[in-house]
Structure formats: structure tokens, C-alpha cells
Amino acid sequence: MRTHPRLTSDASLADFVVDVANVVRERTLGGDRGADLGRFLALLDGLVAFTGDATTQVYAVCDRSLLSDGRLTREERQTLAEWHRAGLLSVWDVADHRIIEAAEATRAQVVTYDGFVDFHRRHPWLYGNRDRFVEPYPGPGGAVSVRRRIMPEPDDWQMSRKEEESALLAAGMYDRRDGTGPRTALLLRRWRCPEPDCAAFGPAARGALPRRQGRTGRVVCPEHLRELTDLGPRPRQMQLKVRVDGTVRHRFLLTEGQDLVVGRHPRAEPGERLAPWLPERSPSLEWISRDHVLLRISGGNLLVSDVSSNGTWLRLPDGQTHRVPPGAFRSVGRRHVVLLHDTVQLEVSGKSFLYEERAEGEPPPRPRPETEGESQQPTMLAPSGPRPAGSRGKRPGRGGRRRR
């Protein structure tokens, strides 16, 4: 079964929702054919360049007509069909609804040229939106780049916008700040489809975004349109990113109730091995212990414990660093960074907000400020020897941030 490392069937892990047909059929992106899958593949590279994150994840959605588009080569149509069977391509008679649904549920950004003007009335967050949409454009040498786009503000709609917002707010259907609505709740539970081979909700599936039918309120499999069984809350998970020399190289999931050892080559099971992501002959290979840190989710918080020989530091949002005392657990906040070496750090992914507990009546948490597009210059933290005593709380250099 053909897969692609940038595609995910789990919308909750996606950084981007991509309108695949929209991109594949865009002639300005290069190629002579009216439809060319190469444009989408080039876009995936463009998204990695845009975010500076080599592990960028995409939830791909397309119209059914694309699967039989005669302007694609036979091999391209086969690739799309295989992605579809593997659950990596979400196929719809009309993809627009699903794209907006997925964007609402996950806060992922949307890659499209479409203005979704017909949807503004039901989804007021679309109106004039400035931070949730990007569009591809041709880059040098056949590459595809992306840039932010501002959604249109249809005139005839503007007049009634405030009334509409108020009505939706009253109905609990609208979060004024970013439009993430009750669909997120569907992502926080486990669902089972009666179809045994269902790629999205079968026994082997990890998780996906079901569809709630408007009229009946039933929760159904978007592929088979059969009612899903609710298997209860999904275990709380956090996604962590491994940033090496300023670039995200790897991401992994931490699940509540399953402590995880992270290190160069952990002996323990389950363990997260960092060696494959460290450059050859890098000092970090010597510095980072086989078992370096133990990670745990407890009460909705991420905890870290240092089990290494050389030490672990926590960098706070204000730039201060603190050593994690060996053997003790320290809480890792939303914008904290766990430093295993000055060039190797662990960060909580912005996607993890989905699993944050919300008290009754409390507003949803703010999403993490957009930092994905920035590569962070490593700090000057203990590059070749133990950190000198008395340096606790000293600010590492914060200059040298650059756009990639």
C-alpha cells in the first residue's frame, strides 16, 4: 500500500488541510496538463519549507471527480486510489464541506484558492480571516511555495454579520476567536465503524474526524455513512516535536498512562530513539544519554524527569533556563522547551491543545502563537561540558532568530 510521510488520516495531528483537487488542477503551478499530481507533491515540499518543520502533517481532502480525472496519468490515479484506501485521502462528492469541517475541528490551516463565500453565513470565522488560509504559488525551478491569504469579505453579507454572530454565539455554535466549534469534541472520543476494513474507524485505526449529520445528530463514518459506535474518551495524548539544529526533524506521541523514555537509544520499552535524527559526528551524539528523559502526562500536564548523565534543562517562554533536578518531575508548559543538548530540544506541539481539559463553561484555550514558521537558533547551553554552577536563571542569547 502506497503511503506518504507527509499525509495523515488523523485530522487532529494535521498542520494543514489541503484541498487536493484545487492544487492539482492549478495550471500556474507548472506542468502542461490540466491536472498534475506533481503540483500537490511539490506543495508538500513547499509546506515543509514554509513551516521549517520537516515532519509537517497534511490532512488531504478531494472531490471524487479527481480520482477519475482523465488529465492525470494512470499512475497518478492509482496513487490517489491507494491513498484513499489507506485513509490518507478523504474523498467527497463535494469536498468543500469537509475542508471547512476539518478546519473547524482542528485549527489546522487550510491550503486552497477557494474563497468559500457560500460558507460565510454558516461559518462566520471565515469572513475576512487572515491567519487560517494559505495559497500555493509557483516558486523557482518548478517548486511550489505558499503564502498567507486573506479571505474575502462579501458585501451583502457584511450587513448581517453581527446579528449572525450573536445568534450563533447564543446557540453555542460559534467561538468568536477562531471558529473552533463543537466538532472538536468528536475528535476527543474513539469511534468504531461497522465496516471491518474501514481505514478511518476500523480496529487498526488510530483516530479520525467523524461526521455529525445535521438533521438527525447521528455520528457517522464519513466514508461509509454508517453510524459509529462510541468507544469512550480517547486517551489524552500530546504530540512532541524534536528540534535539531533549529529544524523540527521528528515528532512523536505521548499517551496518558504510558510513560515514555526519550534518549539516544533507550533501553526501556516504550522508548523514543533520537539517534536517527542526530547529525553524524554531532557532539549531541556523545552528550545525550541512551536514556535521557522520562516523559509523563499527569492531570493534563506534561511532566519531565531527568534520567541522563549530563543533565536536562527547561527553557521558559521568557528565555530563562532551569536545570531539571535529577529524579524529580518538572511540569512542561505550553511554550516551554526541554533541552537535552544545546542543539536538541523537545517542544509540545501546538496541536496538543485538543486534549487539554476544559472546565465547564470555561472558554476554549487560546491556540499557541504561531511559531511553526520560525527556526530557532540553538542557545549557547553547555555545549561541551557540564553547565557551571550558579548559572541558573541566566538568559541564553535570544538573537539570531531567522526565517527559513
Smaller CB separation from Zn ion, 219 or 253: 219
Smaller CB separation from Zn ion, 52 or 222: 222
- Buried/exposed 365-397: b ≥16 CB within 10 Å, e otherwise: eeebeeebeebbebbebbeeeebeeeeeeeebe
Contact characters 151-170, Zn ion, x per CB under 5 A: --------------------
By CB under 5 A, what part of segment 205-234 binds Zn ion?
Answer: 221, 223-224
**Segment interacting with Zn ion (CB under 5 A) among 103-111, 186-194, 261-269, 351-359:** 186-194
The partner residues of 289 in beta bridges, in order of sequence, read: none
Indicate whether 96 belongs to the interface with Zn ion (CB under 5 A): no
* Closest separation in Å from C-beta 208 to Zn ion: 9
**C-alpha 390: how far from chain center:** 38
User: What is the secondary structure of 101-149 as a DSSP string?
Assistant: HHHHHH--EEE-S---GGGTTT-GGGTT--SSEEEEEE-GGG-EEEEE-
**Segment interacting with Zn ion (CB under 5 A) among 69-77, 112-120, 185-193, 256-264:** 185-193
Q: Is the peptide bond before 270 cis (omega within 30 degrees of 0)?
A: yes
Indicate whether 199 belongs to the interface with Zn ion (CB under 5 A): no
Smaller CB separation from Zn ion, 221 or 262: 221
Indicate whether 53 belongs to the interface with Zn ion (CB under 5 A): no
* Closest separation in Å from C-beta 90 to Zn ion: 12
The partner residues of 255 in beta bridges, in order of sequence, read: 237, 258
Indicate whether 335 belongs to the interface with Zn ion (CB under 5 A): no
**Segment interacting with Zn ion (CB under 5 A) among 73-81, 83-91, 197-205, 233-241:** 197-205
Q: Report CA-CA distances (Å) from 268 to 116, 169, 204, 358.
A: 49, 49, 25, 33
* Closest separation in Å from C-beta 95 to Zn ion: 18
User: What is the secondary structure of 166-182 as a DSSP string?
Assistant: HHHHHTT---TTT---T
Q: Which residues bind Zn ion (CB under 5 A)?
A: 193, 195, 198, 201, 221, 223-224
